[in-house]
Amino acid sequence: MPKPLFSRVLYKISGEALMGNQGFGIDPNMVDRIVSDVIEAHELGISIALVVGGGNICRGVSLAIEGGDRVTFDHMGMLAIVINALALRTAFESRKVKVTLLSGLAVPQVCELFTQRALAIAREAGDIIIFAGGIGSPYFTSDTAAALRASEFGADVLIKGTQVDGIYSEDPQKNPDAERFDTLKHKDIIERGLHIMDASAVMLAEDNNIDLIVFSIHEKGGLMRVLLGQGRFTRVSQDRVRV
């Protein structure tokens, strides 16, 4: 088997992906499939941590646009992320896989509060780590939380599983003629206005020399193929690396 491209990975999973074919909530079959892909990667010896979104339950930003208190809505979104993280943890534990769940939002009845020390202990133990609750503060997206936790985790790459197989100039589901990119630089995302990740997350990743990879989460075994440099994805790096 080829050698993995990376040894330490932050995997960002969209909340919408957990819905599967449902219109809302959590599809246990989809959770099981995602967990299987992560375990497969972990068994290669890759140190891996997860950040999950909450859009399948509640999107605080979307609610705020309709009017109301942004801070309250963002806290609702963070709680949705905790719910999704608990579903993922349960799926890992059902397979007897060691996992540590750390939340930026204090919910001590259900999971441990994130600290750098707790992260270091779990990482050294070789656990799969799930980061929940965003960064615990409003006005920050789960993408920014992913970039921050990737930096704290010491990740080589932030891999984002999305609805499409890479980064496009426009939403390819709305415009079939949208241009697809195989490689980009971090600054390209901002300069071109590509809406795959918010600017603060991209800049944080760039500042910490963390590559970004975007691929379709809907392909079984897709995470493993990305880690081996196979399949379809877009890689964002300082040097436009081609794989």
Tell whether 211 is covered by a domain: yes
How confident is the model at residue 240, as a pLDDT?
47
Mutual angle of helices 199-207 and 142-153, in 10-degree steps? 10
Cβ(142)–Cβ(134) under 8 Å?
yes
Tell whether 241 is covered by a domain: no
How confident is the model at residue 179, as a pLDDT?
96
What amino acid is encoded at 2 in this protein?
A: P
| Average pLDDT rounded to a whole number, residues 89-103 | 98
Q: How many domains does the chain have?
A: 1
Cβ(127)–Cβ(100) under 8 Å?
yes
pLDDT value at 64 more than 60: no
Distance, CA of 21 to CA of 37 (rounded, Å): 18
Tell whether 150 is covered by a domain: yes
How confident is the model at residue 63, as a pLDDT?
59
Judged on CB neighbours under 10 Å (0-12, 13-18, 19+), 46 is buried
Rg, C-alpha atoms of the chain: 17
Domain of 206, CATH number, reads: 3.40.1160.10
pLDDT value at 38 more than 90: yes
User: Which two three-digit tokens encode residue 142?
Assistant: 């789960």
How confident is the model at residue 241, as a pLDDT?
45
Tell me which residue range forms the domain holding 24: 8-188+202-236
Distance, CA of 237 to CA of 3 (rounded, Å): 19
- How confident is the model over 135-172, as pLDDT tens digits? 999 999 999 999 999 999 999 999 999 989 999 999 99
How confident is the model at residue 192, as a pLDDT?
93
Tell whether 95 is covered by a domain: yes
Tell whether 26 is covered by a domain: yes
Q: Provide the pLDDT confidence category of residue 61 given band limits of 50, 70 and 90.
A: low
Tell whether 2 is covered by a domain: no
Angle at 5 between CA 141 and CA 158, to 5 degrees: 5
Q: Helix, strand, or coil here: 20?
A: coil
Q: Provide the pLDDT confidence category of residue 193 given band limits of 50, 70 and 90.
A: very high
User: Which two three-digit tokens encode residue 179?
Assistant: 């241009």
Residue with tokens 């299987």, as numbered in its chain? 36
C-alpha dihedral sign at 242, 151, 159, 46: positive
Tell whether 102 is covered by a domain: yes
Tell whether 208 is covered by a domain: yes
- pTM comes to 0.93
pLDDT value at 214 more than 60: yes
How confident is the model at residue 216, as a pLDDT?
94
